[in-house]
Structure 1
């Protein structure tokens, strides 16, 4: 567990756990689920010792749940936000290595990055707790930037100001997590474009239908994921509006609303992009089947024209194949050539008729 003391001027890391909250600024307590799993009750007692707030049992269960969806809840002592972020760590647990390998074989590279993990924020008056799995690159990057700001407190730093409240710091971390989804727009779009070209390629039949189905399922999960994130942050926004009611808090309230509206707008962009990609994929499949139907119609038209050409010829050969002794042209020396010429005239006449009716033109 790592503890950071953040003020308006600097941010420093505590190497020893202190008792109580600071008189200035707030604390950021960063912990992984593996550290909590060692002794859940001891960790809760330690948090209560530092902040003076005890986390409820049901919320503690939600914190340790790796499959929990995004949601928001509040109590008299703290607010809790669960947000599912992209799994950016390169390591896979040994217990899930076989399943992960099979999943990555089915799903293309761009869509395999849609694996998510929950990050829990517990926001108090003077402290914010983040709980995540080990190896979160977003949290590591935020820690590095936060500590780098310490040495630039007395200068005109272009890295922006430090967070002024636990809610402000939580929204900054959430914004960084949502930006990871925005970074996937280009590779996902390129992947969909490749599938569209493959679906409409007449020289090579498309065979990766299972991969295409897995991609559609992944995009649908991204759609549901964004809906859950949007609902959770919308509830957080309503809570901030209801909580900050005095004029003294109006500026802090406006700053928080600006940040949370920005995060919600980013989630909306990810949601719209996911729906657009899913719609493009479905449209490409529909165009593929339309093209297949068109090619089938062209083949049937060609076969119909050939059948129509040979029908009168078959009739003539059938008539001259009847077992009668006396038939016109049967015993004449020029009978064969007259019949062949008449059949050729019929074929030429039918071809001219079909061309006039545009039956032979490529549509």
Structure 2
């Protein structure tokens, strides 16, 4: 547990920070930063320490909520303090031990989140988070670097927060900004599933893993909804009771704080919309997968139908001449076999030509263009189709000229 004291500079109008109380200047607020290890298994001792430092007596039910690893995002306003529980998605930058010995995080479809609690008054901010939280540790490292500087140099790199609400919003903003780093790995996962679904060399069988991926996107969307609802409640509290949060002597403008809250909500909405787009991309790939399967099935059925149509007349001829009658025309004829065989061959060639003319056989460039342009309007059978060929047309014209000369 670490304690930081924010106070106003003795001569300038900006905020400074120390790790010990400064009795010579006006103190603005205290930040008490705790990890879950400081609270778990020593709740009573931790309560006494908080009471000595901040004079805040935490509600018993709120302590249970703080200790609950699976508590959803929530905001509760009381007369003495306000409690905000914000669930943070554990990103690759975090070093949080999700399988610690004293507590166990629940991983839902590969998604793990960690609660971060803020107890706010106009003079005190108490934060409880997991050890290894990248956003908190980055901000703490910056605070530690400022403590080594003089009071005149502390405000040069960036202005320090002047209220507990301002500090909590900055910490939340750093946590939410870390979500943007998830866009690249999520996009790569979507591209992987698109390639797996749209490949045609083997059958797709990873439906269970794909279902888990879809549920991960759904869990992220649900988490963003919870975060947005909690932040909206914080915004309502700022609008209705801002004096309770900023204190009597603070001159911070309410509009500036509302802009920061709205900006934080917009960041969460960006993550939610991006996740929704990725989920839609996977669903579109699934639809294309089934459309490709249906198209392949239709192609196979088309080929089978053509084979059946070609062999149906042949089966009829062989069935007729295979009947056990004593007298069949041409049965005693020496060339009857060759006549029937020629008839079967002519019938097969005629059917293939007919199917080709109807664009049922072959998928050449001309056939596709004709189908798209709907140029094959004549659906009747043309027995003299060979007369449409250009060499035959030229020959017919020459014959007509010779006939006229005669």
Asked if these proteins are the same fold (TM beyond 0.5), I'd say yes
The aligned residue for residue 272 of structure 1 is 273
CA distance in 2, matches of 1:99, 1:13: 32
The aligned residue for residue 53 of structure 2 is 50
> What is the CA distance between 1:157 and its match in structure 2?
6.7
CA 205–13 in structure 1, closer or farther in 2 if over 3 Å, else same:
farther
CA distance in 2, matches of 1:35, 1:99: 17
Name the one with the larger helix percent. Answer: 1
The aligned residue for residue 144 of structure 1 is 141
Give the aligned length.
350
8 A contact 1:73–1:79 mirrored in 2: yes
Q: Deviation per CA, 1:98-134, whole angstroms, max 9, x where unpaired?
A: 998xx79xx6xxxx4x411100011111111111122
Q: Which stretch has the larger CA shift, 258-267 or 132-141?
A: 132-141
> What is the CA distance between 1:343 and its match in structure 2?
0.5
Q: Do structure 1's residue 177 and structure 2's residue 172 form an aligned pair? A: no
CA distance in 2, matches of 1:89, 1:81: 23
Q: Deviation per CA, 1:235-276, whole angstroms, max 9, x where unpaired?
A: 100100111369986743122112111100101101111111
The aligned residue for residue 24 of structure 1 is 27
- Tell me which of 74, 77, 86 is aligned to 2:77: 74
**Matched position secondary structure for 2:287:** helix
8 A contact 1:12–1:147 mirrored in 2: no
Q: Deviation per CA, 1:149-208, whole angstroms, max 9, x where unpaired?
A: 342753497642111111011001101111122211121012112211210111122221
CA distance in 1, matches of 2:274, 2:86: 19
The aligned residue for residue 12 of structure 1 is 18
8 A contact 1:178–1:266 mirrored in 2: yes
- Could you tell me which runs of 5 or more consecutive residues in structure 1 were left unpaired when the two chains were aligned: none
**Matched position secondary structure for 1:80:** strand
Q: How does 1:48-197 map to 2 (within 5 A)?
A: 48-87=51-90, 88-89=94-95, 91-93=97-99, 112=110, 114-150=111-147, 151=149, 154-155=152-153, 159-197=157-195
8 A contact 1:68–1:118 mirrored in 2: yes
The aligned residue for residue 350 of structure 2 is 349
TM-score (norm 1): 0.89
- Could you tell me which runs of 5 or more consecutive residues in structure 2 were left unpaired when the two chains were aligned: 8-13, 369-406
- Root mean square deviation of aligned Cα: 2.7
Q: Do structure 1's residue 203 and structure 2's residue 206 form an aligned pair? A: no
8 A contact 1:11–1:147 mirrored in 2: no
Higher CA-based Rg: 2
CA distance in 2, matches of 1:146, 1:340: 97
**Matched position secondary structure for 2:95:** coil
CA distance in 2, matches of 1:30, 1:229: 22
CA distance in 1, matches of 2:151, 2:353: 89
Q: Do structure 1's residue 3 and structure 2's residue 3 form an aligned pair? A: yes
**Matched position secondary structure for 1:161:** coil
Q: How does 1:224-243 map to 2 (within 5 A)?
A: 224-243=222-241
**Matched position secondary structure for 1:341:** helix
Q: How does 1:280-295 map to 2 (within 5 A)?
A: 280-295=281-296
TM-score (norm 2): 0.80
> What is the CA distance between 1:339 and its match in structure 2?
1.0
8 A contact 1:149–1:159 mirrored in 2: no
CA 333–93 in structure 1, closer or farther in 2 if over 3 Å, else same:
same
> What is the CA distance between 1:57 and its match in structure 2?
0.8
CA distance in 1, matches of 2:259, 2:130: 29
CA 330–278 in structure 1, closer or farther in 2 if over 3 Å, else same:
same
8 A contact 1:123–1:129 mirrored in 2: yes
CA distance in 2, matches of 1:98, 1:351: 70
Larger RCO, structure (CA 8 Å, separation 6 or more): 1
The aligned residue for residue 264 of structure 2 is 263
